[in-house]
């Protein structure tokens, strides 16, 4: 059975566009419930730890620079089939290939500055939610 939670990050480009409100509105309009949320700026160490699976990729250093370039919003979202449904709502990694109606189409620029993160499996969702939030911060 598919899990019911996923971790999202509204990336620095969304905050820069002053679009936290509209993005959260789109998320909640699609029946995701916010179970934890924090406005913060990622440290270099947090960004490297979070994206550890990509540490050998050519884009890694630029990704870390981007993700630490300004504040972000971290949130745990809950819904049936959360991981798959949220990936559908955000669109593909490359914003230029995202369909109209997706968050990356509306707020992303390219394959790096793509507005939002969404966990890619239930296993990674579990790891990512635990990476940023303790159980006492979830409601």
Question: DSSP characters for 37-90?
Answer: EEEE---HHHHHHHTGGGTTSTTHHHHHHHHTSS-EEEEEEE-TTHHHHHHHHH
DSSP 15: H
54 is catalytic: no
The residue (of 37 and 111) whose beta carbon lies closer to ligand CDP is 111
* Nearest distance from C-beta of residue 7 to ligand CDP, angstroms: 11
With H, G, I as helix, E, B as strand and everything else as coil, classify residue 134: coil
With contacts defined by CB under 6 A, name the span among 24-32, 37-45, 78-86, 114-122 that binds ligand CDP.
Answer: 114-122
Q: Is residue 84 a contact residue for Mg ion (CB under 5 A)? A: no
DSSP 120: S
Choose the catalytic residue: 30, 54, 105, 117. Answer: 117
Phi-psi region of 80 (alpha: psi -120 to 50; beta: other; left: phi over 0): beta
Q: How far apart are CA 11 and CA 99, in angstroms?
A: 19
Q: Is position 117 an interface residue for ligand CDP (rule: CB under 6 A)?
A: yes
**Binding to ligand CDP, residues 41-100 (CB under 6 A):** 54, 59, 62-63, 93
Q: Which residue number, 24 or 128, has a Cβ lying nearer to ligand CDP?
A: 128
For position 114 contacting ligand CDP by CB under 6 A, the verdict is yes
Q: How many CB atoms lie within 10 A of CB 2?
A: 10
Site for Mg ion in 94-123 (CB under 5 A): 120
Which residues participate in catalysis according to the annotation?
A: 117
Q: Which residues bind Mg ion (CB under 5 A)?
A: 120
């Amino acid at each position: 059975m598919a899990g019911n939670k996923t971790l999202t990050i509204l990336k620095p480009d969304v905050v820069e566009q002053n679009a936290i409100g509209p993005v959260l509105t789109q998320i909640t309009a699609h029946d995701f419930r916010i179970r934890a949320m924090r406005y913060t700026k990622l440290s270099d160490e947090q960004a490297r730890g979070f994206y550890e699976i990509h540490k050998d990729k050519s884009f890694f250093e630029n990704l870390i620079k981007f993700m630490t370039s300004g504040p972000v919003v971290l949130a745990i979202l809950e819904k049936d089939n959360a991981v798959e449904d949220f990936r559908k709502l955000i669109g593909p990694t490359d914003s230029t290939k995202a369909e109209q109606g997706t968050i990356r189409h509306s707020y992303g620029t390219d394959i790096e500055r793509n507005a939002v993160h969404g966990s890619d499996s239930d296993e990674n969702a579990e790891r990512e939610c635990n990476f940023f939030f303790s159980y006492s911060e979830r409601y």
